[in-house]
Structure 1
Amino acid sequence: MRVRNKPWADSYIKAHGDYIVIDPKNWLGKWQTRFIKPQPLNVEVGTGKGRFIIEMAKAHPEINYIGVELQKSVIATALRSFMADPLPNLQFVLTDGANLDEIFLADEIQRLFLNFSDPWPKKRHAKRRLTSPKFLQTYQRVLSADGQIEFKTDNRGLFEYTLVTMNNFPLRFDYVSLDLHHSPENEANIETEYEQKFSPNGPIYKLIAHFTA
């Protein structure tokens, strides 16, 4: 999907460097220094306009959060929403989620969120999906031994693909839902902007998984 350019994005990002990183490789091994205190670290890849990661940081002040987003105009929008009420346990990073193992140490992340990722439906683009084996290898390097991946989508094809790739990797499933919004777990569910808009059109699929030893 084409993202509309926002002329103000560059200057806004530069003006709020205390909360957003544009040179993430320079922060390898130093992420906790960007927060007021060291705490378990959770990361969302593809943070979009920021609603999910902001609400998670509000709900869990005992956890430090990082929202990773590749699109400058999109992350600038998330940052602007965040700056209306800044939180000490949330940072944003402008980078490609494929490079997580270049900006985080091994075992550094406790939980990884993948919310409504681009399904890349064409077969020749399968390696670009955030749950392809290439990406799973990266996640395995940066997740702690007891770390988990949380994945949500409204795309059944991507969900089925993810079940297969994770099972074959292998990962063990801790939770699988074919209709999250009509399950007991929905009570604690924090929605993304996309989820709020499109959930009336069909079910939301979710899984939680961890790598086996």
Structure 2
Amino acid sequence: MASFSHESFPLGLSRAKEIPHPNFYVKALDGEFSFWAFSEDRAPQYKGCWREKVFEQNIDFPIDLEIGTGNGYFFAHRSESAPHRGLVGIELKFKPLIQSIRRALRRGSTNSRIVRFNASLVDMLFAEGELNNIYIHHPDPWEKRRKHKHRLIQSEYLERLYLLQRKDSFVEFKTDSRDYFDWSLDRFRKSPYRLGALSYDLHQSELAQANFMTHFEKIFVAQGQPIHYALFHK
């Protein structure tokens, strides 16, 4: 397994074991759900060996990634609908993290794992060519201009994602924010990714039939907001 120096622990990420009064969800990360859930201390140790050490599979086994699982409805759906593929979720907040893996396990999932980590530091978790498909659904849009630097989709970030993925993989991106969508399209188009599908109103397009509505997506659709969708290929 990869080595990980705690002296250089990433800024902006608190350590679960240092929380003075941990609640159920904090304790569950390294307790009840420790086989399926990986803390910010444990997860980087598996960089480069998720197939072998975590999923106990051969080199051809596909591993997909959901960045920001939220409450875990898509995470559970995806793990159940594609049992022949590994699925790793990244979530920073304790409660939705545990909710996500618990939902997957209740559906009988054996192919899903979840990690507590900062999504912008994804290359601390995975080696080049270790991932297959990546799902990014409704990330924080950081609407105010002075906050745009905090947006997940940045040119440099896409370059790193591209290296982590295997050939013929894809990135699926959804958001209700038109401004963030246009921002992201501009950066994807300047990246090595190739555009495969695009819709400014997903639920009024032919792509809707194969779409799984996330928790946030249902809220936005009920409010009459269009969902913007894009698929990019490596």
TM-score strictly above 0.5 = yes
Q: Deviations over 1:45-95 (max 9, x none)?
A: 111111111101111112111111111222122233233234111111110
Given candidates 84, 91, 95, the residue that maps to 2:117 is: 95
Distance 1:86 1:24 in 2: 23
8 Å Cα contact 1:51/1:192 also seen in 2: yes
Q: Could you tell me which of 45, 48, 56 is aligned with 1:29?
A: 48
Query: What is the CA–CA distance in structure 1 between the aligned matches of 2:209 and 2:89, rounded to whole Å?
Result: 23
Match of 1:16 among 33, 41, 44: 33
Q: CA deviation at 1:170?
A: 4.3
CA distance, structure 2, for counterparts of residue 24 and residue 181 of structure 1? 36
TM-score normalized by the length of structure 1: 0.90
Change (3 A) 1:127 1:134: farther
What CA RMSD, in Å, does the superposition of the two structures yield over aligned residues?
Answer: 1.8
1:36 shift after superposition: 5.3
Q: Hey, what does 1:137 align to over in structure 2?
A: 159
2:213 to 191, 196, 204: 191
Partner of 1:206: 229
What stretches of structure 2 of length at least 5 have no aligned partner?
A: 1-20
Change in Cα spacing, 1:19 to 1:86, as seen in structure 2 (3 Å) is farther
Equivalents in 2 of 1:80, 1:57: separation in Å? 12
Structure 1 stretch 82-91 or stretch 158-167: which is displaced more?
82-91
Query: Aligned to 1:43, which of 59, 65, 71?
Result: 65
Q: Secondary structure of 1:15's match?
A: coil
Q: Distance in 2 between matches of 1:81 and 1:58?
A: 10
2:78 equivalent to 1:59: no
More strand by share: 1
TM-score by length of 2: 0.82
**C-alpha contact 1:98 1:138 (8 A) present in aligned 2:** no
Amino-acid identity (%): 26
Name which of structure 1's ranges 40-49 and 180-189 shifts more when overlaid on structure 2.
Answer: 180-189
Quote how far apart the aligned CAs of 1:146 are. Answer: 2.2
Instruction: Considering Cα pairs closer than 8 Å and 6+ residues apart, tell me whether 1 or 2 has the greater RCO.
Output: 1
> Which amino acid letter does the alignment assign opposite residue 27 of structure 2?
S
Q: Secondary structure at the match of 1:194?
A: helix
Point out where structure 1 has 5 or more consecutive residues left out of the alignment: none
- Give the aligned partner of residue 180 of structure 2: 158
| Residue 41 (structure 1) shift | 0.8
Distance in 1, matches of 2:156 and 2:22, equals 32
The question of whether the paired residues in 1 share the 8 Å contact of 2:86 and 2:112 is answered with: yes
Query: Does the aligned pair in 2 maintain the 1:126–1:132 contact within 8 Å?
Result: no
Deviation readout 1:106-143 (Å, 9 max, x if unpaired): 01111111000000112222222121113212212211
Number of aligned pairs?
207
Is 1:124 aligned with 2:140? no
Q: Which has the larger radius of gyration?
A: 2
Structure 1 residue ranges (4+ consecutive) displaced by more than 6 angstroms after TM superposition? none
Change (3 A) 1:36 1:58: farther
